[in-house]
Amino acid sequence: MSEYTYQIDAKPDFSLLTVQVPAGKTLRVEASAMASMDTNLVMKTKLKGGFGRFLTGESLFINDFTAEGGAGEITIAPGPPGDMDHVFLDNQTIYLQNSAYVASTPDVAVESKWQGLMKGFFSGENLFLIRCSGRGDLWFNTFGAMIEVDVTDNYVVDTGHIVAFTEGLDYDISRVGGYKSLFFSGEGLVCRFRGQGKVWIQTRKVGAFVGWVNPYRPVKSN
């Protein structure tokens, strides 16, 4: 189900979203993600979370694209190379890791949500999730391919692989093993989900990729 006609191309490696915005309607898009658009689409920028949260890194810049004088087409290219998915929220709530938001229709409320010290480890150094709720279309992306998992009881996911999860799932952040495991094994923090709902995971994580690339960086000799 979708309010707007859309198409996702180049899955799952370099997904590109194309949305047809009806005349007089608005599409909200992550800042800097617009790749191309019709000339009758007019853009306005909004800051979700407020200026105070912007100073602590908890805010999200969103551009509103409104079709004036007729319908318009927009293509959207997220920053990370990877997959993209769509859900239609019917008075439901989904939590996204802070870099996963791509676009949504106006009746979807998008807000950052402080998670506290431990729960904030979802996104490494960033201590917040994005809460999306209401009724309408929501698109989100990953680094790598995306897998949707139905959770019926308990499920454990490395925090770096989590993309999104539905409201109603309880979770705790914990270590795999002891402190030695955290620092030396390559495995560290995991999220332990409980209850019934959905979790979206990505097949790659940024930290591991950076660690793989780092030895190949050129070293400047003195």
CB atoms within 10 A of CB 9: 11
Better-predicted residue by pLDDT, 218 or 30? 30
Nearest Cα neighbor of 163 from 107, 204, 125 is 204
Better-predicted residue by pLDDT, 140 or 185? 140
**What is d(CA 166, CA 187) in angstroms, rounded to the nearest whole number?**
25
Of the ranges 79-83, 101-105, 128-132, 156-160, the best mean pLDDT one: 101-105
**What is d(CA 1, CA 170) in angstroms, rounded to the nearest whole number?**
27
C-alpha distances in angstroms, 145 versus 54, 116, 138, 155, 159?
30, 28, 18, 19, 16
φ/ψ of residue 201, rounded to 5: -120, 155
pTM for the structure as a whole: 0.81
**What is d(CA 137, CA 17) in angstroms, rounded to the nearest whole number?**
13
DSSP string, 183-218: HHSS--EEEEEESSEEEEEES--HHHHHHHHGGGS-
Is residue 124's pLDDT more than 60?
A: no
Residue 13, judged by CB atoms within 10 A of its CB (0-12, 13-18, 19+), counts as exposed
**What is d(CA 205, CA 144) in angstroms, rounded to the nearest whole number?**
8
**For 121-130, 183-192, 211-220, which range has the lowest pLDDT when averaged over its residues?**
121-130
Is residue 181's pLDDT more than 60?
A: no
Cβ-contact 131, 165 below 8 angstroms: no
Length of the chain: 222
| Structural domains of the chain in order of their starting residue, each with its CATH number | 5-214 (3.60.160.10)
Element (H, E) at 55: helix 51-55
Nearest Cα neighbor of 190 from 155, 151, 161, 159 is 159
Is residue 109's pLDDT more than 90?
A: yes
Instruction: Specify the pLDDT at position 182.
Output: 44
Token readout for 118 is 């431990």
pLDDT, average across residues 123-147: 82
**Tens-digit pLDDT profile for residues 50-66:** 433 333 344 478 999 99
Predicted confidence band at 185 (pLDDT cuts at 50, 70, 90)? very low
181: helix, strand or coil: helix
Of the ranges 19-33, 102-116, 119-133, 164-178, the best mean pLDDT one: 19-33
**What is d(CA 157, CA 190) in angstroms, rounded to the nearest whole number?**
6
